[in-house]
């Protein structure tokens, strides 16, 4: 069965090479001999090394439909860059793509993953500005990062500072960039203003706290009830959080009575939904805005009539992938450089666990929540 699946995958990917797009990986059919050596700027056609990849032939539960297999070499064309992947995260959106429920997803069979970091292995003869050993990320991000070698046209790679820790380079685009855009795009905040958010322990939540601190903006943070919640609160406060509350602590009639030394928040972020989203709304000041960027509880947002009529609240949504197709996306690479600069300075940190590629299944189980609360899983190739 594995042989049949591999043939199916190779046939599908061969078809894709005839209609190449920036969001799809190019794989060469196995009938082409593998070169014994690979040289940058060679005038002869060159091939990448074979790639070990996480693929799925069908949509469904990720721990059921994914498998690790060998893929054939890819031709490195005139303006192509071949990258040896170093690390790539398992994001919730990656899981949703495999499940077939994400709004934008590659056709199956497909290679998993959407963002990641690697080093330049070799380049086509027409490539300028990239050399072997350069640290690069896919920009804009695209499907297929859960494999050991990726070949794409040079304009789809962004060279970054080689001193950047690979776990931060691998994860900078989806979560930290979401946090940055939400802090800056929806409400004109000034130093001394406040933000309220749920999901504060997520990577986006941790980044919001630190980016707000850099701007002199206060944060009120909501976390779910859990064991050792005091330790979690202390950890978030070390990142710069002003206040951290569990959901049960907010079962009071007047939430704003808790804001003794802070102004009422003008902006709120929701990634949970349900009752926790309602808590964010209750904290907001007159004319405040709540931005929803996730729905981890899978429960709808319920808004009281009085919130609209008497508080004039606004509800907005943010989807990074849509934002990156807008005119603002041209600024994306400078924003990524800014964020990575903060990581190198120790001003932007967040929880991750680097996991060897051969332990992918364990990392996937952790990402699926089957082993309890876990930090972001980052595959190290």
Query: What does the pLDDT look like over 281-291, one tens digit per residue?
Result: 999 999 999 99
Q: Name the pLDDT band for 319 (thresholds 50, 70, 90).
A: very high
Per-residue pLDDT for 49 more than 90? yes
* Domain locations along the chain: 47-171+350-380, 175-322
Per-residue pLDDT for 38 more than 70? no
332-344 vs 175-185: helix crossing angle, rounded to 10: 110
Spatial distance between the Cα atoms of 69 and 47, rounded to a whole number of angstroms? 19
- Least trusted range by pLDDT, from 15-19, 293-297, 359-363: 15-19
Percent of the chain with pLDDT over 70: 87
Q: Where does 175-322 sit in CATH, by number?
A: 3.40.50.720
Q: Name the pLDDT band for 51 (thresholds 50, 70, 90).
A: very high
CB 82 within 8 A of CB 149: yes
pLDDT for the residue 12: 43
Going by C-beta distance under 8 Å and a sequence separation of 6 or more, which residues neighbour residue 209?
Answer: 200, 219, 221, 236, 239, 240, 241
Rounded average pLDDT over 2-18: 41
Q: Greater confidence, 270 or 228?
A: 270
Encode pLDDT of 56-84 as tens digits.
999 999 999 999 999 999 999 999 999 99
Q: Name the pLDDT band for 8 (thresholds 50, 70, 90).
A: very low
Q: Name the pLDDT band for 255 (thresholds 50, 70, 90).
A: confident
Spatial distance between the Cα atoms of 270 and 93, rounded to a whole number of angstroms? 16
Per-residue pLDDT for 25 more than 80? no
pLDDT for the residue 61: 98
Considering the candidates 56, 102, 293, 350, report the single residue annotated as catalytic.
Answer: 102
Per-residue pLDDT for 26 more than 60? no
Per-residue pLDDT for 30 more than 60? no
Q: What pTM, to 2 d.p., does this model score?
A: 0.86
Rounded average pLDDT over 375-380: 97
Going by C-beta distance under 8 Å and a sequence separation of 6 or more, which residues neighbour residue 326?
Answer: none
Task: Please give the CATH superfamily to which domain 47-171+350-380 belongs.
Answer: Medium-chain alcohol dehydrogenases, catalytic domain (3.90.180.10)
CB 229 within 8 A of CB 251: no
Q: Name the pLDDT band for 40 (thresholds 50, 70, 90).
A: very low
Q: Greater confidence, 208 or 299?
A: 208
pLDDT for the residue 177: 97
Spatial distance between the Cα atoms of 300 and 283, rounded to a whole number of angstroms? 19
CB 179 within 8 A of CB 60: no
Rounded average pLDDT over 205-212: 98
Q: Name the pLDDT band for 328 (thresholds 50, 70, 90).
A: low
Q: Name the pLDDT band for 326 (thresholds 50, 70, 90).
A: low
Closest CA to 50 of 22, 78, 69: 69
Strand ranges in 154-216 using DSSP code E only, listed in sequence order? 157-160, 194-197
Task: Tell me, yes or no, if the two domains 47-171+350-380 and 175-322 fold the same way.
Answer: no
In the residue annotation, 56 being an active-site residue is answered as no
Per-residue pLDDT for 178 more than 50? yes
pLDDT for the residue 1: 39
């Amino acid at each position: 069965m594995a042989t049949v699946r591999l043939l199916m995958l190779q046939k599908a990917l061969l078809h894709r090479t005839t209609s190449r797009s920036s969001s799809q990986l190019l794989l060469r059919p196995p009938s082409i001999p593998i070169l014994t050596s690979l040289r940058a700027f060679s005038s002869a056609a060159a091939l990448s090394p074979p790639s070990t990849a996480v693929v799925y032939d069908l949509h469904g539960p990720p721990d059921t439909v994914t498998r690790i297999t060998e893929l054939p070499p890819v031709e490195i064309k005139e303006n192509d860059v071949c990258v040896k992947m170093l690390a790539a995260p398992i994001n919730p959106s990656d899981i949703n793509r495999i499940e077939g429920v994400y709004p934008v997803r590659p056709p199956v069979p497909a290679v998993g993953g959407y963002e990641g970091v690697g080093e330049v292995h070799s380049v086509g003869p027409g490539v300028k500005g990239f050399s072997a050993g350069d640290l690069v990320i896919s920009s804009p991000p695209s499907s297929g990062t859960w494999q050991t070698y990726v070949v794409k046209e040079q304009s789809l790679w962004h060279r970054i500072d080689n001193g950047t820790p690979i776990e931060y380079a691998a994860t900078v685009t989806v979560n930290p960039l979401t946090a940055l855009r939400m802090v800056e795009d929806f409400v004109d905040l000034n130093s001394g203003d406040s933000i309220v958010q749920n999901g504060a322990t997520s990577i986006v939540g941790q980044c919001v706290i630190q980016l707000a601190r850099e701007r002199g903006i206060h944060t009120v943070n909501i976390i779910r009830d859990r064991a050792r919640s005091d330790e979690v609160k202390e950890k978030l406060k070390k990142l710069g959080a002003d206040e951290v509350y569990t959901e049960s602590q907010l079962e009071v009639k007047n939430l704003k009575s808790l804001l003794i030394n802070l102004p009422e928040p003008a902006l709120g972020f929701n990634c949970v939904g349900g009752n926790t989203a309602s808590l964010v709304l209750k904290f907001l000041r007159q004319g405040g805005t709540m931005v929803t960027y996730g729905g981890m509880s899978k429960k709808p947002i319920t808004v009281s009539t009085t919130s609209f009529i008497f508080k004039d609240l606004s509800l907005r949504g943010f989807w990074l992938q849509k934002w990156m197709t807008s005119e603002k996306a041209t600024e994306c690479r400078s924003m990524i450089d800014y964020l990575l600069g903060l990581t190198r300075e120790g001003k932007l940190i967040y929880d991750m666990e680097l996991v060897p590629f051969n332990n992918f299944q364990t990392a996937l189980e952790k990402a699926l929540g089957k082993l309890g609360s876990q930090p972001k899983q980052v595959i190290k190739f």
